[in-house]
């Protein structure tokens, strides 16, 4: 990952609703949630939610899949882990023993 990629990802989640959506999806796991459920849980109107999900998807932070008439969204854990690794690569002056493993492992 480079600075520009990190800035793009951080810019995408530097908006309150998108950060809330992303955090909800991270906590949900690889299965993800239907768009309507996300909107219900966070109290976001469907038109607004659609815009934010599109932005998260465009940045690569979420995956989407269609099942029947529903679209399910899930966090892109690998990209999230890459961003965390990039942000913390020089933590404690490079002494790996002082930082715990920040990787999130899912069954995607």
Say whether pTM exceeds 0.85.
yes
Q: In whole numbers, what is the pLDDT of the chain averaged over residues?
A: 91
Under the phi-then-psi rule, with left for phi > 0, alpha for psi from -120 to 50, and beta for the rest, what region is 92? Answer: left
CATH number of 3-89: 1.10.10.10
What are the tens digits of pLDDT across the range 58-103? 999 999 999 999 999 999 999 999 999 898 887 777 666 666 666 6
Supply the pLDDT for residue 59. Answer: 97
Report whether pLDDT(107) > 70.
no
Q: Which residues of the chain form beta strands (DSSP E)?
A: 33-34, 62-67, 70-75
Distance separating alpha carbons of residues 56 and 5, to the nearest angstrom? 14
Give the confidence band of 1 by pLDDT, cuts at 50, 70, 90.
very high
Q: Given the structure tokens 């002082």, which residue do they identify?
A: 98
Confidence (pLDDT) at 56: 98
């Amino acid at each position: 990952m480079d600075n520009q990629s990190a800035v793009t990802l951080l810019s995408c989640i530097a908006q309150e609703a998108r950060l809330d959506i992303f955090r909800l999806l991270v906590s949900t796991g690889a299965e993800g949630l239907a768009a309507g459920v996300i909107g219900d849980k966070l109290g976001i109107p469907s038109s607004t939610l659609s815009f934010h999900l599109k932005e998260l998807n465009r940045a690569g932070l979420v995956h989407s899949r269609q099942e029947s008439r529903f679209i399910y969204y899930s966090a892109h854990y690998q990209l999230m882990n890459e961003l965390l690794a990039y942000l913390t690569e020089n933590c404690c002056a490079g002494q790996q023993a002082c930082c715990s493993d920040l990787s999130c492992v899912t069954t995607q």
